[in-house]
Amino acid sequence: MKEVSVSAAVLSQKSPCNFLVFGLGFDNLIWTALNHGGRTIFLEEDNSWIDQIKQKLPGLEAYHVEYDTKLRNGTIL
């Protein structure tokens, strides 16, 4: 939760702003609310997960992405 509190602290001072979130989770509304009046965009690899979330939250701005790099290759980057 430390990552969330650090990001929340930054948003409390910078909001409204353009805020990019990597991955859709169950905390989407938190990020959107913390950036009230700003633009919050989510990037997600799983297209079916985007569809599921957008059924519940149709106003959420989320985009499908495909990453070429893999965690196992992290040490050679």
The pTM for the full model equals: 0.84
Q: Where are the domains of the chain?
A: 11-66
| Highest mean predicted confidence (pLDDT) among 21-30, 41-50, 64-73 | 41-50
Q: State the chain's mean pLDDT as an integer.
A: 92
33 falls in which pLDDT band (50, 70, 90)?
Answer: very high
Q: Given a cut of 80, is residue 77 above it in pLDDT? A: no
Beta partners for residue 18, in sequence order: 39
Mean of the pLDDT values across residues 5-33?
Answer: 93
- 20-54 burial, b at 16+ Cβ within 10 Å, e below that, comes to ebeebeeebeebbebbeeeebebebeeeeebeebe
Q: What is the pLDDT of residue 76?
A: 81
Neighbours of 15 (CB within 10 A): 16
